[in-house]
Amino acid sequence: MGNICRSPTAEGVFRKIVSDAGLGEYIHIDSAGTHSYHVNEPPDRRARDAAERRGFVLDNIRSRRIKMEDFEQFDYILAMDMNNLLTLRESAPEHHRRCKVSLFLEFVESVRELEVPDPYYGGPAGFEHVLDIIDEASRGLLEMLKQKKQLGF
């Protein structure tokens, strides 16, 4: 929503997983919010601290709001929850609403949740839980991309 907790966490986690797989040159990764509450701010300190403890770097990420060009530039626009999914689908050009915009957790089988919970108003355990979910979904997303051979490798 504001691009300071879940989305930049997903960006940092997925970026490292892709890099560790040697595929960083094939995948462009970015995050954005559906609202402009925190434009140009770094991720929430609690998200950065939790990520750093696991070896993920979020310090170079700055919040931004999604732009129309993003719907053309990216193959996947992944929402953290249903509210943001609906907002993104309403914002997207009609020909991209269903084929590009989906929930991030569609790429993980073992998590029962459909939405990545927003840890903003909770404590440290919420940020750890979000990292667990995002890590697993990121690995599932990368596996799906490999299977589809969409990466040109």
pLDDT given for residue 151 in this prediction: 54
Residues 6+ apart with CB under 8 A from 142: 14, 17, 18, 21, 23
pLDDT given for residue 150 in this prediction: 56
What gap in Å lies between CA 83 and CA 114, rounded to an integer? Answer: 12
pLDDT given for residue 153 in this prediction: 56
pLDDT given for residue 152 in this prediction: 58
pLDDT given for residue 12 in this prediction: 98
**Stretches in the chain below the pLDDT threshold 70:** 150-153
Instruction: Sketch out the chain's domains with CATH numbers.
Output: 6-148 (3.40.50.2300)
